[in-house]
Amino acid sequence: MIFWGNEYREETMRKTLLAGAAALALSLVVVGPAADAAPQHGGQMVVTYKDDVSTLDPAIGYDWQNWSMIKSLFDGLMDYEPGTTVLKPDLAESYTISDDGLTYTFKLREGVTFHNGREMTADDVKYSLERVVDPATQSPGQGFFWSIKGFDDMASGNASELSGVTVIDPYTLQIELSQPDATFLHVMAINFSFVVPKEVVEEYGADFGTHPVGTGAFRMTDWTLGQHVIFERNPDYYDADLPRLDRIEFQVGQEPSVALLRLQRGEVDILGDGIPPAQFLEVMGNDEWMDNVIEGGQLHTGYITMNTHMAPFDNKQVRQAVNMAINKDRIVQIVNGRAVPANQPLPPAMPGYDPNYEGYAYDPDAAKALLAEAGFPDGFETELYVMNTDPNPRIAQAIQQDLAVIGVNAEIKSLAQSTVIAAGGEEDQAPMIWSGGMAWIADFPDPSNFYGPILGCGGAVPGGWNWAWYCNEELDAMAAEADGMTGEDQADARLEKWRLIFISIMDDAPWVPVFNEQRFTMHSDAIAGETDEIFVDPVHIPVHYDYVYSTAAQ
Amino acid sequence: MLGYLARRLVQSAVILIGITMITFILSFLIPADPVRMIAGRSATAETVESIRHQLGLDQPIPVQYVRYVSRLVQGDMGRSYVQKTEVATLIWSRLPATLLLMAGAIAFELMIGLPAGIYAAARRGRIGDRGVMLLSFTGVSAPQFVVGLLLLYVFANLLAWFPLGGYGSFGHLILPALTLGITGGGWYSRMTRSSMIDVLGQDYIRTARAKGSSETRVVLVHGLRNAALPMIAMIGLDIGIFMSGAVVVESVFGWPGIGQLAWQAIQRIDIPIIMGVTLVAAVAIVVGNLIADIATSLFDPRVRLG
């Protein structure tokens, strides 16, 4: 394939570096331009989507389409350096953490106003956090706030306030935790924690999602259901350099293949749903358009789970043998090269990823020998559950063929997504599951988000997401220790601990990590960014709207 | 006439009650737990149960049905699980585009189907007739997405005479309406042909010919006036069908009608929208049929309702 050349590999290496420990240093150099170097304001862009936008309420919105739009309309106490996974204060000007890691004191920026003109204060932050935890809000993000003192009382409906959240003065907010939580600052950067004005929420009630008012770089000026959503520049945004564009028009109901034609004709600037799979090779093989596509990693891993509570996968050697039997390069080819082979649970873009770990090399002979050693010289019969939408059944067939080579006869169970998820949540139902279409995509860029629910003992419960039913008490203890390391000076040691946890998991081999999906963002010539990273931002999908600028306005 | 109308109205009401039951049962057959969809993957068991209780989904099914119908009577079709907007608002917002496309499609169907049918009837059994019938067969059997994509590619992409999908101007309407006209016009031409042949065999046509009227006048004035009656019924049925949305064409052309709303809801298993659209479609078909029957009786003195 044409794009599978040297350029591609260099690009990937660069991304890996960026996401790793060097991210902070690099980002300071690449992003954060001097004031006089900032691109000029002005211009607009058109983004297309197939589906209508669902809600823009930060407490409710939880799909990849509204996720990034909400980030441009609202702000939280924390945010990330654009294009990276590095935390920075946002509505908070600064913060302090007590020595025991239990008390966070945020000093808020003064003079930040909501789109309705009212000044945002600490009371609004408290209200917004409590709104998400309040069971009446039905927020899918409620669970992220577990570590705040008083969470249980409020989540169960026994209290109307979070006892751990205290307004000291209009610009100072103190949050007490019930136990140390190193991911807490990430939680303060997640959409669910974004600050909303109480009076507007109460005015619109359940329709706040179509009448969003925040403090963000853009404000929503029109939403014609089924047709378009219009964002316009917030002239009072606290960072005068942002956003670069005056206006963004999100056109919905656009078939991705038609949107691609329109982009090539200059009517569309960003394909919100990505390049349609059927046209992918055509675009990537075309000299004119290849340059308009930016590739980057995303916080995603596709994996095969092996149920450690079901024979013969209760045998570690069997699981290791399966790890050696899967030809990941071939599976990557099935998805047209829109992924990179994986050898560990963490994706390369995630802090804590180990670039030096070699994993289990593809070696069917060694796998067969190991299987014999484990007591299965003639293999065994098993079942492979898979979601029934393309390309997943084709990937399952490739896995089936690889397993057949070492004598393992896997029957494919191709089922609706909800059925597969339900089967994975039963202790004795699905021996193997290919995660495609249901795989874990991180909610925030921290390794702990890839452990607890999918590999920790807490997730190995009926209805849980730990489909391997893998529970290693020792690693669970290590994980708890890592998340108790809240000091800034402990950050590196904490990541090192997480790296070790995930590599140790690979010794037990409850998963076959297969690939990490790559993102390919296609944009028109009318827009650009100071760096390519804003087009493949790990937390903004498809692009970091605030940082895109118009080439015509320069 | 009034008695007939009353009887038909009662019939329609019974059908509609049946439909509310079917759509309600459908919502339980879809393999997805709406509560888990709302609660998200990180929700605890308590949160899930609390949301289930708030939505009343822990009530016995007959109680849920009664509540569903009593809300429906007040025009409340519930709130979308995915979009979180009121279903009635969503459907209402799709109405202008749906009606516009319906008008455009029926106009094209008539523009294509009527002349073709008349021509074929006048040339009955000859090569022109065969040709027209073959074309209308092709039109009727061609998949809408193929015709739609073809038109889009040629007239919007290559020639750039029309916009590449979307909604807003008269130009946006032409290609989707034409697609529906081509695929639906065949029915009209076949219907026109057979009723024209029927009419042209009648005594009064022979009389007209005997009087010395030109053949054109015989066909277009004496023939068409009477042959057009079945068209009215057909348009009535079409209105019912188009009200439920032209799912395929709306998706291809990015047309914001009810069909597109339904298609997006099906893909996202957004049960309240699926139920709402099904109900609206059913009502439209029932009403369309009713209008067709009444209109036929008004225009055709031979049909007596009573």
pLDDT in tens, B13-40: 898 888 888 888 877 877 667 787 777 7
Quote the CA–CA distance of A207 and A55 in Å, as a whole number.
9
CA gap A120, A448 in Å, rounded: 32
Task: Tell me the DSSP string of A21-62.
Answer: TTHHHHHHHHSS--GGGSPPP--EEEEE-SSPP----TTT--
Answer whether B55's CB lies under 8 Å from B34's CB: yes
Closest alpha carbon within chain B to A254 = B254
Inter-residue contact A177 to A138 (CB < 8 Å): no
What ipTM was reported for this prediction? 0.84
Answer yes or no: are the C-beta atoms of A32 and A537 closer than 8 Å: no
What pLDDT score was predicted for residue A197?
A: 97
Contacts of B93 in chain A (CB under 8 A): 224-226
**pLDDT tens for each residue of B132-165:** 888 888 888 888 888 888 998 899 888 889 888 8
**Each residue of B84-131: pLDDT tens digit?**
889 999 999 999 999 999 999 999 999 988 888 888 887 888 888 888
Task: Please list the pLDDT of chain A residue by residue as tens digits (554 residues).
Answer: 222 222 222 333 333 333 333 333 333 334 444 444 678 889 999 999 988 998 999 999 888 889 999 999 999 999 999 988 889 999 999 999 998 889 999 999 999 999 999 999 999 999 999 999 998 888 888 888 989 999 999 988 899 999 999 999 999 999 999 998 989 999 999 999 999 999 999 999 989 999 999 999 999 999 999 899 999 999 999 999 989 999 999 999 888 888 999 999 899 999 998 898 888 989 998 988 988 999 988 888 999 999 999 989 999 999 999 999 999 999 999 998 899 999 999 999 899 999 999 999 999 999 999 999 999 999 999 999 999 888 899 999 999 999 999 999 999 999 887 788 888 988 999 999 999 887 677 788 899 988 988 999 988 888 788 999 999 999 999 999 998 888 778 889 999 999 999 999 999 999 999 999 988 999 999 999 988 888 888 888 788 999 999 998 88
Per the CB < 8 Å rule, is B94 touching A465? no
Instruction: Say whether A509 sits in a helix, a strand or coil.
Output: coil
Closest CA to B233 of B195, B199, B205, B198: B195
In this complex, do A225 and B166 lie within 8 Å of one another by their Cβ atoms? no
Tokens of B51: 């949301």
Omega within 30 of 0 (cis) for the link into A235: no
φ and ψ at A250, to 5 degrees? -95, 110
Distance of alpha carbon A193 from alpha carbon A144, whole angstroms: 9
Contact B93 A136 (CB under 8 A): no
Q: Rounded CA gap, A393 and B127, in Å?
A: 50
- Contact predicate A362/A324, CB 8 Å: yes
Chain B residues in contact with A155 by the CB 8 A cut-off are: 44, 46-47
Contact A225 B50 (CB under 8 A): no
Q: What is the 3-state secondary structure (H, E, C) of A204-262?
A: HHHHHHHCCCCCCCEEEEEEECCCEEEEEECCCCCCCCCCCCCEEEEECCCCHHHHHHH
Contact (CB<8Å) B164/A265: yes
pLDDT tens readout for residues A2-11: 222 222 223 3
Q: Which amino acid is at A481?
A: E
* Residues in chain A within 8 Å Cβ distance of B255: 253
* Chain center to CA of A82: 14
Ramachandran angles phi, psi of A79, nearest 5° = -155, -175
Residue tagged 């590196």 (tokens): A492
pLDDT per position as a tens digit, A409-449: 999 999 887 788 888 988 999 999 999 887 677 788 899 98
Min distance A149 CA to chain B CA atoms (Å): 17
What proportions of chain A, in percent to the nearest 5, are helix, strand and coil? 35, 20, 45
The residue behind tokens 């390794």 is A447
Nearest to B42 among A224, A251, A453 (CB): A453
Inter-CA distances, A540 with A74, A191, A239, A253, A382, Å: 13, 11, 19, 21, 40
CB A535 within 8 A of CB A529: yes
Radius of gyration of chain A (CA): 24
**Chain B residue numbers touching A57 (CB-CB < 8 A):** 84
Residues of B in contact with A267 (CB under 8 A): 164
Helices B271-299 + B2-29 axis angle, to 10: 160
A-B contacts (CB, under 8 Å): 114
Strand, coil or helix: B277: helix
Please, which residues have CB within 8 angstroms of residue A17's CB and are 6 or more apart in sequence?
A26
Query: Rounded to two decimals, what is the model's pTM?
Result: 0.85
Return the closest-CA partner of residue A147 out of A196, A99, A186.
A186
Taking a C-beta distance cutoff of 8 angstroms, is the pair A342, A301 a contact?
yes
Closest Cβ opposite residue B254 in set A254, A418, A465: A254
Among A300, A381, A380, residue whose Cα is nearest residue A335 = A300
Nearest CB neighbour to A52, from listed B47, B83, B97: B83
